[in-house]
Amino acid sequence: MSALRILVPVKRVIDYAVKPRVNKAQTGIETAGVKHSMNPFDELSIEESVRIREKKRAPGGVEDICAISAGPAKAQDILRTAMAMGADRGILVETKEGEDLEPLTVAKMLQKAVEQEKSNLVILGKQSIDDDANQTGQMLAGLLGWSQATQASKVEFGEGDTVLVTKEVDGGVETVRGKLPMIVTTDLRLNEPRYASLPNIMKAKKKKLDKLSLSDFGLQNEKRLKVLKVTEPPARTGGGKVEDVDGLIGKLKELGAL
Partner 1 sequence: MLPLARRTVARSAGRLIEGAPALAFRCYTRQRLLSTLAVLEQRDGKLNAGSLSAFTAAQKLGGPVHGFIAGSSVGAAAEEAAKVDGVEKIIVVDNAAYEKGLPENYAPLLVENIKKGGYTHIIAGHTAFGKNLLPRVAALLDSQQISDITSIESENTFVRPIYAGNAIATVESSDAIKIITIRGTAFAAATPESGSAAIEQGVDPNADSPTEWVSEDLAKSDRPDLATASKVVSGGRGLKSKENFDKIMMPLADTLGAAIGASRAAVDSGYADNSLQVGQTGKVVAPQLYMAVGISGAIQHLAGMKDSKVIAAINTDGDAPIFQVADVGLVGDLFDKVPELTEKIKSS
Residues 168-187 that bind partner 1 (CB under 8 A): 168-179, 187
DSSP assignments along 95-115, one per residue: --TT----HHHHHHHHHHHHH
Among 38, 141, 184, 204, binds partner 1 (CB under 8 A): 141
b/e map of 49-71 (b: 16 or more CB within 10 Å)?
Answer: bbbbbeeeebeeebebbbbbbbb
Tell me how far, at minimum, the Cβ of 151 lies from partner 1, in Å. 7
Tell me how far, at minimum, the Cβ of 179 lies from partner 1, in Å. 5
Q: Using CA atoms, how far apart are residues 194 and 197, in angstroms rounded to an integer?
A: 9
Binding segment for partner 1 (CB under 8 A), chosen from 74-82, 112-120, 205-213, 230-238, is 230-238
* Cβ–Cβ under 8 Å, residues 10 and 93: no
Of 3 and 258, nearer to partner 1 (C-beta) is: 258
Of 90 and 137, nearer to partner 1 (C-beta) is: 137
Binding segment for partner 1 (CB under 8 A), chosen from 42-50, 54-62, 113-121, 243-251, is 243-251
Q: Using CA atoms, how far apart are residues 33 and 25, in angstroms rounded to an integer?
A: 17
Interacting residues with partner 1 between 14 and 73 (CB under 8 A):
14, 16, 19-20, 22, 29
* C-alpha torsion sign, points 14, 19, 20, 21: negative
